[in-house]
Amino acid sequence: MNLQRRGSRPIAKRPTIADLASAAGVSVATVDRVLNGRLPVREATARLVHEAADSIGFRATGVIEQQLARMRPARTYGFLLQKRADPFYQQLAVDLTTATRAAHSVRGRAVVEYVDDLDPARLADRVRALGERCDGLAVVAVDHPHVGDAVEAVTAKGVPVFTLLSDLSTPARAGYFGLDGRKSGRTAAWTITRLARQAGPIGIHIGSHRYLGQELAEISFRSYLREHAPGFRPLEPFVNHDDPAQAQGATAVLLKSQRSLAGIYVSGGGQSGVIRALRAAALPPERAPIVVCNELTADTRAALIDGIIHLVIATPTERLASATVG
């Protein structure tokens, strides 16, 4: 840093454009173009100048940041999620929006929409409609030919479609972001068989058989029991359509009909309903099943603290959003 002396005390001199050019390893003319936008400059060069400006304390760092922002292409990313009222999806929406705004490679705008039922035809219509307005699309969807056709139609128009939380079978989808269903199911089975006081039947909740991620988790759950804990008997799954009310009613019936119930595995949604049923039953510890469910929310966190449930297999929504947008 250049210094000038006033009296007996040296005073720091503000870095000049020449100092910035030297620090960045470019010409003064290039720095001038970056600062004033006179002629096109490669983004990599502008970023190099910005980093040098930041390192030497150049006064116009904010101006360079503005120029960098103008260089980034504007992009609109669409996100089609489930269950608007679900706290998990609310948090995922916040994280996806934040990640889009923070993206370094684009000037991103997030459009978040919700589908509150699992009707494949309606979902397919929403995929097509949102795809018309976006440069890229990420969806939470059940696997169905209608949905696959919609993804293929959107992709054919040059808009990539990614799947979130649960994959689709269509090869047209650009990629999948979410947990490994096989690991989730086997982890749940390991937990229940290790913590249960004795072997017995296990209740299973899924949102829909058409969620490939949930289907894989259930298959892997059963596979682990066959291989490592044949004394435990998985019951036929209850399809709750991610509806807490349906999950609560089914769990209440399960607790009354299976007095030796060893565990409950919730591989889909409806967790809050399962928790309400368990709280209402107020079973003594010797009869309480070992419960594993998905997603860390206010309800599941409180249930963990109170010992109502025993393990939550949670999706790291912030990391998921960053990976999806990035």
What is the per-residue pLDDT across 166-215, written as a single tens digit (0 to 9) for each?
Answer: 999 999 999 999 999 999 999 999 999 999 999 999 999 999 999 999 99
**H helix intervals, the chain:** 17-24, 28-36, 43-56, 61-71, 87-102, 120-131, 145-156, 181-195, 212-228, 244-257, 271-281, 298-306, 317-325
- The widest CA-to-CA distance across the chain, in whole angstroms, is 91
Residue 73 binned pLDDT confidence (cut-offs 50, 70, 90): confident
Which of 175, 141, 143, 213 minimizes the C-alpha distance to 326? 175
Rounded average pLDDT over 9-32: 74
Residue 28 binned pLDDT confidence (cut-offs 50, 70, 90): confident
Which of 155, 163, 159 minimizes the C-alpha distance to 75? 159
Q: Which residue has the higher pLDDT, 259 or 139?
A: 139
Residue 107 has pLDDT above 90, yes or no: no
Rounded average pLDDT over 59-77: 73
Instruction: State what percent of residues in the chain have pLDDT above 70.
Output: 90
pLDDT of 317? 96
- Give yes or no for a contact between 137 and 80, defined as CB atoms under 8 angstroms apart: yes
Which of 122, 123, 97, 101 minimizes the C-alpha distance to 111? 97
Which of 238, 226, 228 minimizes the C-alpha distance to 264? 238
Q: What is the mean pLDDT of the chain?
A: 89
Q: Which two tokens stand for residue 32?
A: 């001038």
Q: Which residue has the higher pLDDT, 118 or 153?
A: 153
Q: pLDDT tens digits for 261-310?
A: 999 999 988 999 999 999 999 999 889 999 999 999 999 999 999 999 99
Residue 234 has pLDDT above 50, yes or no: yes
Which amino acid makes up residue 173?
A: R
Residue 5 has pLDDT above 70, yes or no: no
Question: Phi/psi at 159 (nearest 5 deg)?
Answer: -105, 110
Residue 246 has pLDDT above 70, yes or no: yes
pLDDT of 3? 46
Residue 31 has pLDDT above 80, yes or no: no
Q: Which residue has the higher pLDDT, 172 or 67?
A: 172
